[in-house]
Amino acid sequence: MRLWITSCLVAGLLVQCAACLVDTRKFYVRSPQQQPILLAPDLPTLKALLSPNAVPPVTAISVPNKTKGRMLDRKFLRGGELVEPYPANSYDMERDGAVEVVLFEITEGPQRGVRGWVQMSFLYPDFRYL
């Protein structure tokens, strides 16, 4: 009986430790229109992409849906500048005109290693077990 309890505890710890190793920074891109999204390699390109009715700059990088990558940094674009995340609810952020953006690095496919800024709303967590 004691050996069975010990085995169950060890198995439970192994499962829990395996869950701890899941990288929560892994995401894949998905556009609501099922079209490729555009990655901004620099701040001027990011500002142009987030401007209403703007023509996408030639420096923007087209990334197909379901491309996997990881989040390297998280900022807010407010007033044309990248600022650190600040404690506010969604109403405060909308009022301030802040848009959540992340520095995304592609980890698979022919564009592996390419980095750029993208709106957080285009990223979805890549969890194998969910």
Report pLDDT digits (tens) over 79-125: 888 888 777 676 777 788 888 999 999 999 899 999 999 999 999 99
| Residue 13 maps to a domain | no
| Residue 2 maps to a domain | no
| Residue 15 maps to a domain | no
- Paired strand residues for 105: 70, 115
pLDDT: which is higher, 32 or 127: 32
Q: Which element (helix H / strand E) includes 115? A: strand 115-119
| Residue 1 maps to a domain | no
| Residue 51 maps to a domain | yes
Question: Which phi and psi (to 5°) does residue 53 adopt?
Answer: 60, 20
Q: Which domain holds residue 46?
A: 23-125
Specify the number of domains making up the chain. Answer: 1
| Residue 100 maps to a domain | yes
Average pLDDT value for residue range 12-37? 66
The token pair at 101 is: 């953006």
| Residue 9 maps to a domain | no
pLDDT: which is higher, 58 or 25: 58
* pLDDT band at residue 38 under the 50/70/90 scheme: very high
Strands 26-29 and 37-39 turn out to be unpaired
Residue 55 CA to residue 99 CA, distance in Å, equals 19
